[in-house]
Amino acid sequence: MAEDTSLSSKDIKAGDHQAYMRLALSLATKSPPKSTNYRVGALLLDIATNEVLTTGYTLERPGNTHAEQCCFEKAAEKYTVATTLLGEALPDEVALYTTVEPCSQRLSGNLPCVDRILAVGKRIKTVYVGVQEPEKFVSDNSSRKKLEDVGIEVVHVAGLEKEILEVATAGHEKLS
């Protein structure tokens, strides 16, 4: 059963990437605005059944948690496995939708989201991204290359960039 979200995932047709990105964006709005992070929303989708497996957003869970991390932790709980074994528990073909490109470096010392994705393994076939990570905190994000190097497709879902960046940077000082 999919989690309760402000937009209903059961009405989204398979392959409607923009609708799933809108759902991820609605999750990002639940993240508290802070000047030290981006507000990001993410969801894991079973490609075969078009079922949202789990969702997450920045700071949803205790600690300095990113949206993808929250998704994976909640999926591990759903399948009652350690996060290190999540790749064995997920369906064969999973897509990850995330409003902002997964981070390749964490200034906090936490595991970067790209490394969390790689740890899940080949079950994640595609990562759909709303925007590239802005260079405010980390420049030269290498997550796309790391994912593509192991055969995970990275697809930009166009059309929501302005809205995603507005939500992502809420709480940041605006430059004049």
Helix, strand, coil abundance in the chain, percent, nearest 5: 30, 20, 50
DSSP code of 172? Answer: S
CA 44 and chain centroid, separation: 8
Cβ 16 vs Cβ 26: under 8 Å: no
Cβ 35 vs Cβ 172: under 8 Å: yes
Nearest Cα to 127, choosing from 24, 2, 30, 33? 24
Cβ 164 vs Cβ 29: under 8 Å: no
What is the residue whose two structure tokens read 């409003």?
99
Residues known to be catalytic = 68
